A and B are shown apart, each in its own frame.
Chain A
Amino acid sequence: MSSAAAMTVSPREAKRYEEKDFGFWLYLMSDAVIFACLFATYLVMAGNAAGGPTPKDVFSLERAAAETALLLLSSTTFGIAAVSLWAGDRSKVLLWLAITLLLGAGFIALEFGEFSGMIAEGAGPDRSGFLSAFFTLVGTHGLHVSVGLVWILVMIGQVFAKGLTAPVASRLMRLGLFWHFLDIIWVVIFSVVYLPGLL
């Protein structure tokens, strides 16, 4: 499972982590189907502005680009945290997890601003089918990122309290899967929602 020198793992534990990783992959597949349904819904409803604002009226390329940058960057910093985990460097793991947390929080803050701005302008999710689909798709991703942030926070706590033990390392691995998965979903959101909406 993990090659960190400090961790010795019995075959039974190794098998347990393998099962957990595999189960987590299956969860991600299932979650991917949720997003697929949301994407399909968005594509069906993107034209249903019902006389209200259209994608061109409400999307901002700058903001979307900034959100993308923050999230992609956070994926990179999580990668560095994972490398530090491999090296068994606890303080570096903590540092890079914290940076990831900040970047993710920045993303959520931007998205929150985007949403509240739209709602203030009368382009809330109850305005039209298009906006319902938009808020739900992007909001579901945002909800996942928020859960990811709580998870990062919990893992910072665990690394701090327990050190880089085998169970903690195993959880960090799955958090990584989750975080990168959200990254991929965001890239699809950017290309399916924001780009065609603005071009």
Chain B
Amino acid sequence: MTVENARALRWRPCASIVLAAASAAVLCGGCSVLDGPVLSPSGPISLAQRDLLFKAVAIMMIVIVPVFVMAAIFARRYRGTNRKARYTPNFDFYWPLEVVVWGVPAAIIVWLSLHLWHYTYQLDPYKEIDPGVKPLQVQAIAQDWKWLFVYPEQNIAVVNELAMPVNTPVSIAITSDTAMNSLVIPALGGQIYAMAGMQTRLNLLADKTGTFWGRNVQYSGRGFADQQFQTLAQPKADFDAWVEKVKQSAKALDAAAYEALAKPSQKVPVTYFSGVEPGLFDKIIAKYSHGDSDRMPRHSNTGAMD
């Protein structure tokens, strides 16, 4: 019978192609990814998230690298044609190896889960960033296919633009007046789902000025791709000026204006509203919850239960 000899020798050219392809892919990503929002964060939350990312990758190299090395060495050294290599066909158990094989991954996971608990509590999106500072309150409402941000203290509302003073905690209460959405601003942190009849919360802080994009990342229909906004992290004075600018708007967000806005629409330009129907956010939630008491995600206004 014919046997195609897929010999070990073929390994080298082919393996180098793989390596080249992989490194080309990584490299061409490498330069731009460093400037990307995740790896060059603009707030303490996303910075801490990045730190955890780096730590976890580093610790896991303890198992990943040996796998690469062993796979390469064993495949080469113990190729069938290499009659010089030792061959032990019945070698199938050696308890010190078993201890290492179970023990090392287990130790890494213990280390990792300690960090996991620490960071998960520290970076709980519900947690107030600085208990000593009163955060800026924002209410985010997901609509088809845009974001409406209400500033209750300033009595203004904005479509598809989120402004915030730099170095000031922002507490965003989130709900949806449509399908499930998810709010993220990659440079600052996130994300949390927006669900009708329920309120979720996201606490953020920008420690650099700049314009950062944010968007819905939970697929919600044909306008999904354009459901994005810009976040303006500004010095306090600029933010106040921005608030004044919004207050100059001739439009007010009364019940009728809200109804019109809530209809599905795509690529909606930034729109300012100088006044907001009182209790609008709660009314949108109540529309779906019918006074039932079981709205599950934590809806307290102040941070985590724990």
A and B touch in the complex (CB under 8 A): yes
Query: Contact: B290 with A50, CB < 8 Å?
Result: yes
Query: Contact: B291 with A47, CB < 8 Å?
Result: no
Any chain B CB within 8 A of the CB of A165?
Answer: no
Which residues of B lie under 8 Å from residue A50 when comparing CB positions? 290, 292
Any chain B CB within 8 A of the CB of A44?
Answer: yes
Closest residue of B by beta carbon distance from A128: B290
Within 8 A of B (CB), among A32-73: 44-45, 47-51
Closest residue of A by beta carbon distance from B296: A44
Query: Contact: B293 with A47, CB < 8 Å?
Result: yes
Within 8 A of A (CB), among B145-170: none
Query: Contact: A48 with B294, CB < 8 Å?
Result: yes
Instruction: Encode A107-127 as 1/0 by CB contact (under 8 A) with B.
Output: 000000000000000000000
- B31 vs chain A, min Cβ distance (A): 49
Closest residue of B by beta carbon distance from A50: B290
How far apart sit A48 and B290, CA to CA, in the bound complex (Å)? 8
Which residues of A lie under 8 Å from residue B292 when comparing CB positions? 47-50, 129
- B290 vs chain A, min Cβ distance (A): 4
Which residues of A lie under 8 Å from residue B290 when comparing CB positions? 48-51
How far apart sit A129 and B293, CA to CA, in the bound complex (Å)? 13
Within 8 A of A (CB), among B259-306: 290-294
Query: Contact: A44 with B294, CB < 8 Å?
Result: yes
Within 8 A of A (CB), among B165-195: none
Closest residue of A by beta carbon distance from B288: A50
Which residues of B lie under 8 Å from residue A48 when comparing CB positions? 290, 292, 294
How far apart sit A50 and B197, CA to CA, in the bound complex (Å)? 12
How far apart sit A51 and B291, CA to CA, in the bound complex (Å)? 7
Which residues of A lie under 8 Å from residue B293 when comparing CB positions? 47
How far apart sit A50 and B286, CA to CA, in the bound complex (Å)? 11
How far apart sit A11 and B291, CA to CA, in the bound complex (Å)? 64
Which residues of B lie under 8 Å from residue A49 when comparing CB positions? 290, 292
B: which residues have CB within 8 A of A? 290-294
Inter-chain pairs besides A49-B290, A49-B292, A50-B292, 12 sampled, C-beta below 8 Å:
A44-B294, A45-B294, A47-B292, A47-B293, A47-B294, A48-B290, A48-B292, A48-B294, A50-B290, A51-B290, A51-B291, A129-B292
- By Cβ-Cβ distance, the 5 closest A-B pairs, closest first, are A50-B290, A48-B292, A51-B290, A47-B294, A47-B292
